[in-house]
Amino acid sequence: MFELSLGFTIGKYLVEKVYKKLVEKKPLPDEREDEGIIVLEVARPIYEDVKQQLGDVVARIVYDRLLTAAELPQVAAEVYKAVAHAQRFFKKITLVLSGPIVLAALIGQALGMQHFNVDFAFWQKGSYVRVPDMSQYRKLLF
- Report the mean per-residue pLDDT for the chain: 80
* pLDDT given for residue 132 in this prediction: 80
Cα–Cα distance list, 26 to 30, 51, 70 (Å): 11, 25, 34
Q: Which CATH fold topology does 2-141 show?
A: Rossmann fold (3.40.50)
Q: How confident is the model at residue 27 (pLDDT cuts 50, 70, 90)?
A: low
Distance CA 80, CA 114 (A): 10
Question: Where are the chain's structural domains?
Answer: 2-141
* pLDDT given for residue 82 in this prediction: 94
Pick the closest to residue 37 from 91, 76, 1, 77 (CA basis): 91
* pLDDT given for residue 122 in this prediction: 84
* pLDDT given for residue 56 in this prediction: 93
pLDDT tens digits for range 75-87: 999 999 999 999 9
Beta carbons of 21 and 78 less than 8 angstroms apart = no
Helix (H/G/I), strand (E/B), else coil: 61: strand
pLDDT tens digits for range 44-73: 999 999 999 999 999 999 999 999 999 999
* pLDDT given for residue 23 in this prediction: 46
